[in-house]
Amino acid sequence: MDFRPSDDVSGIKARLDHPIIDSDGHAIEYLPLVRDILRDQAGDEAVAVMDLVTSGASASRGLSPEQMRAAGLIRTSWWGLPARNTLDRGTALLPDLLAARLPELGIDHAVLYPTYGLVPAALDDATIRLPMARAFNTFYAEAFRDHTETLTPVGVIPMHTPEEAIAELDHATGELGLKAFMFGGPISRPAPGVDPPSRAARWLDSLGLDSLYDYDPVWQRCVELGVSPTFHTAAMGWTVRASVSNYVFNHIGMFAIAGELTALSLFLGGVPQRFPSLRFAFQEGGVAWAAALLANLVGHWEKRNRDAIEHYNPAHLDRAQIAALFEEYGSERYRERLDQLDDGLRMLSLPDEDSASLDEFARCGIESVDDIRDVFTTAFHFGCEADDPMTALAFGIPRLKALFASDIGHWDVPDIRNVLPEAWELVDDGHATEADFRALTFEHAASLWAGTNPSFFAGTSVEDAVTAELARG
């Protein structure tokens, strides 16, 4: 077949002095091959469980809303892959075909996240979670082995415990040769004290602040291996995204919710501050949530840092002045209860707070607003789909590291030939400059992947351009 770029794609590429790196496309795994790999590695019983997992969406059919709520079930993804556009379905399934079509799309190198492989990292049962993750990782290494110049597959790292994460990291990098990874998290864990465990009683472990485990050994292993921790978590089923009848309701904003929870937890837990060489990414949720989170953190720091919080210390309240104000301005019913003044002043102003817990920024070591901005403008990266107009928020002050994330392979993209022209609309519509577009489609990808591992793009079609970019500083 002849895959020539459209005039639109050719015209855009002719104006650029840099390659296009897609930091979040999607491969569709060929499940019969994954099943055979799983059978070889873990046996027929594991395959039988995998078959149940991959057909799990049908389990809720025929259940009433009351039954679904009682079971903790929601309306999940359905008809999520290309169908009428059969060529695009085949492109996401077949690495050889995707590699052949990249020039048509105007993409020079694509980093490809899982589709079905998104599932194992979220499974409760380690006896299937770990074998499935390894089988998918083996599949990615084998399927894309002949296309390392233009395609980088993303492996799966389950994170229910630090030990399992490190074990799979070591195997996937050392034995399989993978270099990009999607980390599980936040982890939906069974609520303590609920026996038997129920899907309707869960809590979210966000890996940083107040986590069940100390994940610092995982982040340290990432430093040693040159791995950028990235997250691609769907928040369907969490709190407000839990409709039993409507997938659209559950899907809108779900990646932003998961990204915000993870980023805030890592930030307040001090992870990017303790591991400054790591670069993190939160995929597919856009950048609007990140801009809002940064603004909120700055606002909270300015009023609730360890010095500013003293403004609200009940010890500084002048009770004599309060009593005098009651006498002068209080109604009779207020004055009749003046002897209960202490009771009226306690709520939200308790005098016996633990002094050791007053500095809620202590774990992240923040000393100034600039320290907050540095994390959001250096360590954190944010995947933005090509048609997301809110990407323009990344180009304000401060500038955030928005990533071009095509999402090819999924229903968000009816025709993968249009992803580059859709992203370019930011320039055409005056919401971004060509310099902004360069940052979106090239510089920030280099920052994410090569910022942690300078040799990440060695041997790829964009190696020379990334090397020159890193040398620019």
| Tens digit of each residue's pLDDT (9 = 90 or more) over 384-396 | 999 999 999 999 9
Strands (E), 131-249: 151-157, 180-183, 187-190, 202-205, 229-231
What is the secondary structure of 105-117 as a DSSP string?
Answer: HT-SEEEEE-SGG
Tokens 């002094």 locate to 355
What is the structure's pLDDT at 61?
79
What is the structure's pLDDT at 463?
98
Phi, psi (rounded to 5 degrees) for 284? 70, 0
**Paired tokens of 364:** 């992240």
pLDDT band of residue 69 (cuts 50, 70, 90) is confident
State the Rg of the chain over Cα.
25
> Is the confidence at residue 56, as pLDDT, over 80?
no
Q: Model's pTM, two decimal places? A: 0.95
What is the structure's pLDDT at 195?
77
- Residue scoring higher pLDDT (196 or 263): 263
- Residue scoring higher pLDDT (421 or 234): 421
pLDDT band of residue 213 (cuts 50, 70, 90) is very high
> Is the confidence at residue 57, as pLDDT, over 80?
no
> Is the confidence at residue 320, as pLDDT, over 80?
yes
Tens-place pLDDT, residues 102-151? 999 999 999 999 999 999 999 999 999 999 999 999 999 999 999 999 99
d(CA 302, CA 285): 27
pLDDT band of residue 5 (cuts 50, 70, 90) is very high
- Show the CA angle centred on residue 224, arms to residues 216 and 153, nearest 5°: 100
What is the structure's pLDDT at 191?
86
What is the structure's pLDDT at 2?
82
End-to-end CA distance of the chain: 41
CB < 8 Å & 24+ apart, contacts of 301-306: 301/361, 301/366, 301/369, 301/372, 302/369, 304/360, 304/361, 305/359, 305/361, 305/366, 306/358, 306/359, 306/361, 306/362
Longest dimension (CA), the chain: 89
> Is the confidence at residue 74, as pLDDT, over 90?
no
d(CA 129, CA 54): 13
Domain boundaries, the chain: 7-303+380-472, 307-358
Mean pLDDT across the chain: 95
What is the structure's pLDDT at 278?
98
Superfamily of domain 7-303+380-472 in CATH is Metal-dependent hydrolases (3.20.20.140)
> Is the confidence at residue 355, as pLDDT, over 90?
no
C-alpha dist (Å) from residue 280 to 30, 223, 231, 265: 29, 12, 8, 13
